[in-house]
Amino acid sequence: MMETHNSSSDLNSEVSNGEDSKVHVFSSSSELLEKLHETWNSVKEQPYPAMYSSVFGGIVLDSAMMVVPIDDHMVHRGHGVFDTAIILNGYLYELDVHLNRFLRSASKAKISSPFPRSTLRSILIQLAAASQCRKGTLRYWLSAGPGDFLLTPGGCPTPAFYAVVIKDEVSQCKEGVKVITSNIPMKQPQFATMKNVNYLPNVLSKMEAEEKGAFASIWVDDEGYIAEGPNVNVAFITHDKELILPFFDKILSGCTALRLLELAPKLVEQGRLKSVRTANLTVDEAKGAAEMMYIGSTLPILPIIMWDDEPIGDGKVGELSMTLSDLLWDDMVAGDETRRLPIPY
């Protein structure tokens, strides 16, 4: 009875405190803006040097103004897609490849663009230039747009396009990480193969791994084959020196993973790899690999040395994993300029 009484008292106290609190009403937009500036001025270094919004009709450099309308269907319905590109040493890496995937995702999500592809591309390049950022990421979204809080976008006057530059250190990953098999159900192929903003399964999968002391997780599909990580592809090197990536029919076709498949045959020519291919891999086959790695645009390769508390290979970062990382990194910093677009600062 005593415990029940205490719980009731605590609850009453919380209710009372809630009723006594007074919510401030901002009297003007200038007062609100002053508050937002106060918040952002407390940040040591501004992480977002520039944002574009089609709602605003231009680029903003003030972090306090980098906002999205609450009635945007991307916010309250998840009806939006996104993609990214790396900014490295003043160049945009593989912007066109990512932009093409972006528009394919938008088509699958039944979102039209407010601009033709050439205009989207031009906006992104101008945004990167306005940001003065030389290392980081350029992230961009297409949304069904703002308009109302209904389910479908019939009441939205026009789709919306947003983009932001994020300052970040982009460098090779040379330390190995631990992963787990995810217990969070992966997305169905219709949604997994488009880069949409519905990332709750991805978030929960990563959180699950972190709660267990691992870096991230591995999804296994309903047929028992290896799929992908929460926001990265995964690859394996067998003891026979074969580089194998899972088929892309049920997962996102990562731009960096596809580029790796183009570059890795160089190692076959050198006799360091036997072959490069995509295939179905069971969990047992995958865990029996000599080397394992995540592949993603900001990594570009992240070696995996332990999975479900079992070592991959000898439990150390593999030589071929780092060689593949070097291949991708060289492509990013000194590769073909059809893939590296100089930013006109």
Residues 6+ apart with CB under 8 A from 216: 177, 179, 205, 206, 209, 229, 230, 232, 294
State whether 227 and 307 are in the same domain: yes
**Predicted local distance difference test score (pLDDT) of residue 152:** 97
State whether 143 and 290 are in the same domain: no
Decide which of 167, 193, 225 is a domain's last residue: 167
State whether 64 and 116 are in the same domain: yes
Indicate the helix (H) or strand (E) that contains 342.
strand 340-342
In this predicted model, what pLDDT tens digit does every residue of 250-278 receive, in sequence order?
999 999 999 999 999 999 999 999 999 99
We report the CATH number of the domain holding residue 222 as 3.20.10.10
219 Cα distance to chain centroid: 16
At residue 19, does pLDDT exceed 90?
Answer: no
Q: Establish if 147 belongs to a structural domain.
A: yes
Tokens of 309: 């508390």
**Predicted local distance difference test score (pLDDT) of residue 3:** 41
**Predicted local distance difference test score (pLDDT) of residue 20:** 73
State whether 261 and 145 are in the same domain: no
Decide which of 149, 167, 185 is a domain's last residue: 167
**Predicted local distance difference test score (pLDDT) of residue 6:** 47
Which range is least confidently modeled, 12-21, 31-40, 142-151, 259-268? 12-21
For 183, the domain range is 177-334
- Known catalytic residues are 195
**Predicted local distance difference test score (pLDDT) of residue 107:** 98
- To the nearest whole number, what is the mean pLDDT of the chain? 94
Cα–Cα distance for residue pair 182/176, rounded to 1 Å: 19
At residue 2, does pLDDT exceed 60?
Answer: no
Cα–Cα distance for residue pair 340/92, rounded to 1 Å: 6
- pTM for the full predicted model: 0.91
In this predicted model, what pLDDT tens digit does every residue of 287-306 receive, in sequence order?
999 999 999 999 999 999 99
Total of domains in the chain? 2
**Predicted local distance difference test score (pLDDT) of residue 5:** 44
